[in-house]
């Protein structure tokens, strides 16, 4: 069974351990600017929200790539950038509606979460379990439907 990252922003303290672990896993040094997961800081509310590639089924990045440098890893389901094929055109960064693909100036290529080959470093590094690795069947879709139904029953202004 394939798995996916589940992020619970209410548990995030903004410690950036996920960013540090990701950069170390992929580059061998602690450099949050090279991380494939980012913690967004909502300054006006004091909330921190980790975000990264959701490995969405639509995979706009994969379909937009003119050189087919993004492939689906059969084992994990992750959409993975093939560095040897990527030409750094950044079309995938434009296609991604979530802004989770980043251009890396040093390499002239793009990067995105690849689930660390089925052992995401960010999950292990998160001290509050704000990031977990769960069965991909659990998507929260049913809760979203229930919420939408509840909103439908509210009087409209």
CA 71 to chain CA mean position, Å? 16
Neighbours of 40 (CB within 10 A): 12
What is the structure's pLDDT at 2? 83
Could you say which DSSP state residue 156 is in?
P
CA 3 to chain CA mean position, Å? 13
Name which of 67, 70, 59 is nearest 89 in CA terms. 67
Predicted TM-score (pTM) of this structure: 0.82
1-52+113-157 to CATH, choices 1.10.3470, 3.40.50, 3.90.550, 3.30.70: 3.30.70
What is the structure's pLDDT at 136? 73
Query: What percent of the chain is predicted at pLDDT more than 90?
Result: 77
Domain 1-52+113-157 identical in fold to domain 57-102:
yes
Q: Each residue of 74-88: pLDDT tens digit? A: 999 999 999 999 999
The residues spanned by each domain of the chain are 1-52+113-157, 57-102
Name which of 59, 51, 72, 58 is nearest 5 in CA terms. 51
Q: Reply yes or no on domain 57-102 having CATH 1.10.10.10.
A: no
Q: Each residue of 11-67: pLDDT tens digit? A: 999 999 999 999 999 999 999 999 999 999 998 988 999 999 999 888 999 999 999
Separation between Cα atoms, residue 69 and residue 83, nearest integer Å: 7
């Amino acid at each position: 069974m394939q798995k996916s990252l589940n992020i619970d922003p209410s548990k995030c303290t903004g410690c950036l351990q996920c960013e540090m672990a990701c950069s170390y896993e992929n580059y061998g040094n602690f450099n949050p600017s090279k991380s494939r997961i980012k913690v967004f800081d909502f300054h006006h509310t004091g909330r921190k929200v980790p975000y990264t590639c959701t490995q969405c089924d639509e995979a706009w990045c994969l379909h937009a790539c003119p050189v087919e440098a993004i492939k689906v890893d059969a084992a994990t389901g992750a959409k993975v950038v093939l560095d040897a094929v990527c030409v750094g055109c950044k079309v995938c960064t434009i296609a991604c509606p979530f802004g989770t693909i980043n251009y890396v100036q040093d390499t002239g290529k793009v990067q995105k979460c690849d689930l660390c080959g089925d052992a995401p470093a960010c999950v292990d590094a998160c001290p509050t379990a704000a990031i977990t690795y769960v069965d991909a069947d659990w998507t929260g879709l049913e809760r979203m439907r229930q919420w939408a139904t509840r909103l439908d029953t509210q009087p409209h202004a």
